[in-house]
Amino acid sequence: MERSSKKSEFMSIIEQLEKDKNIKKEEIFKTISEAIVTALRKYYGKVVQIEAEIDPETAQMRAYFIKDVVDEAAIEELEITLEEAKKYKPDAKVGEKIRIPVDIADFSRIASQIAKQTLLQKIRISERDKIYAEFSPRVGEIVTGLVTHISNKDILVNLGKVEAILPYSEQIKRERYSVNDRVKAIIQRVEKNRTPQIILSRASIEFMKALLVNEIPEIYEGIVEIVNIVREPGVRSKIIVKSNSPKIDPVGACVGVKGSRIKAVMAELSNEKIDLIPYSDEIVNIIAKAFSPARVSSVSIDRENKIAIIIVPDDELELAKGRDDVNRKLVEKLTGYTFEIKTESEKQKESVEAFKKQVKKLMEIEGITQKVAETLVKVGYNDPEKIAQLKIDDLSSLSGIGEKMAHKILESVKNYIEKNKTNK
């Protein structure tokens, strides 16, 4: 490195590293100096004290042993006699430290290798930090790249400056990709490992939400709010939307003219079905709409235990459940309720059976015939305690029950209640 051309070449490389990799010149010099010291210590032993430096102007390398000046040198690696010291420094004195030049020509190759490895590590760290700093603020952003490689079902995507990964778990399973295919996905997270990993997703709820924000101005502007989203990627999504303006229909805004807006989102998701549900303060209304595409005839809910029974037309039972029960599972995730789905025929059959059971129960009371029991049950008087609270006029107004029979029914009912209390 004594010739100016070599110096110039070396300095040019250093300056280029400083510019391209954001590694300061001082750090590079320090790395090379430390590499020289390491190489010399491997040869002379760990006991010796060694210093190395690089001229910042010429890039010339120098190394020195550091020894104590003494009258008699007991430890050769660390001490030097005054007589010997004066060969290197004429005015040397006992008690001071002097620097003795070391010929590093034989060690430059080893030092260069060590420095190269260290610099490569620093470059990797610098590039890792640079990528992390650039992409970590972009989490949640939609990006488009080209497929470069597919490994164990994971897809590597070229984003221009860097390569990202679309893991199999974050893909829409029905989709298939080949090298050079374009992929649109959301940056889900950035992991700061040995090499930064930019993790993409097409299966996440965040990707669906970002697509809706991009496609529907009312959502972007906050006029329409996404309350909740559940997804079975590539199959079906259910989205509760709420309008913050009385003039805007949230579902209509999302659908767009002739379905243009929602169709654009569905097309990006391999025609994943999207059910839009208007927000309501009443959970029954949300449940009824959430089972789309099935029509819900009625909803009965147990709010405390979050259990509900929904009734659907006979020919829409499978529609309500969905293939592999997907539709029901999505509504359960969306609402937090557990559902039992029944058809109208099943509900009617259950009602008939319940009616017969209630009639039979009332017929246990003396003086109540089947006809009278049926009349009472039809109007909702299916419990002895309820009937006992009735007045003569209430009973006698019912079809087939006169005043005399009303007296007899009330007396029998009260005796029946009393008898049951005694038996208990």
Residue 111: inside a domain, yes or no? yes
Predicted pLDDT at 107: 66
Angstrom distance (rounded) from CA 184 to CA 164: 12
Angstrom distance (rounded) from CA 39 to CA 213: 59
Residue 284: inside a domain, yes or no? yes
Is the pLDDT at 26 greater than 90? The verdict is: no
CATH number at residue 176: 2.40.50.140
* Mean pLDDT, the chain, integer: 88
Q: How confident is the model at residue 332 (pLDDT cuts 50, 70, 90)?
A: very high
Is the pLDDT at 34 greater than 80? The verdict is: yes
Token pair listed for 42 = 């491997």
155 shares its domain with 187: yes
Q: Please give the tally of structural domains in the chain.
A: 4
Angstrom distance (rounded) from CA 89 to CA 83: 10
Is the pLDDT at 42 greater than 90? The verdict is: no
Q: Pick from 316, 345, 374: which residue ends a domain?
A: 345
Q: At what angle do helices 260-268 and 205-215 cross, to 10 degrees?
A: 140
Residue that the structure tokens 């039979």 belong to: 360
Residue 216: inside a domain, yes or no? no
Predicted pLDDT at 261: 96
125 shares its domain with 148: no
Predicted pLDDT at 282: 95
CATH number at residue 381: 1.10.150.20
Residue 350: inside a domain, yes or no? no
Angstrom distance (rounded) from CA 269 to CA 273: 9
Q: List the single range of 13-17, 295-299, 341-345 with lowest mean pLDDT.
A: 13-17
Is the pLDDT at 3 greater than 60? The verdict is: no
Higher pLDDT, 92 or 116: 92
Angstrom distance (rounded) from CA 399 to CA 381: 14
Token pair listed for 86 = 């004066």
Across 309-322, average pLDDT? 95
197 shares its domain with 247: no
Across 130-152, average pLDDT? 92
Q: Is the distance from CB of 415 to CB of 387 less than 8 angstroms?
A: no
Q: Cα dist. 47→65, 79, 101 in Å? A: 11, 11, 17
Predicted pLDDT at 309: 95
Domain range for 197 is 139-203
Residue that the structure tokens 């120098």 belong to: 62
Is the pLDDT at 2 greater than 70? The verdict is: no
